[in-house]
Amino acid sequence: MFTAMKNLYQNNFDLFGNNLSHYRRLCGMTQEALGRAVGMNRTYISALEHGRANPTLKLMSTLAIALKVDVGNLLTIPNDYPISEEELQ
């Protein structure tokens, strides 16, 4: 059961990271530019995008504002681009 929960949490981090990268690119921003916009280092943005960092709700909200999307867009499977099961595992 613990392994299943751990995998679920990692899937959420991966989904968030994929969405963050997707919307950042839609805005025409580099990781460095997004980092500057939210007061973070580019390497931290990269860690978020690769599911290696655990963002706070406050940071998720700040990122959403910078990307001009609803915070929910960063946490759900979007309709506007394909995402494969492999990307979430």
Instruction: Tell me: pLDDT of 89 over 50.
Output: no
CA dist 8 and 2 (Å) reads 10
Q: Domains along the chain?
A: 1-77 (1.10.260.40)
Two tokens, residue 18: 């994929």
- Over residues 8-31, the mean pLDDT reads 90
3-state secondary structure of 10: helix
- Percentage of residues of the chain with pLDDT beyond 70: 76
Count Cβ atoms within 10 A of the Cβ of residue 63 and give its class: 0-12 exposed, 13-18 middle, 19 or more buried. buried
Handedness of CA 66, 67, 71, 75 (dihedral sign): negative
Are the C-beta atoms of residues 16 and 40 closer than 8 Å to each other?
A: no
Instruction: Tell me: pLDDT of 83 over 80.
Output: no
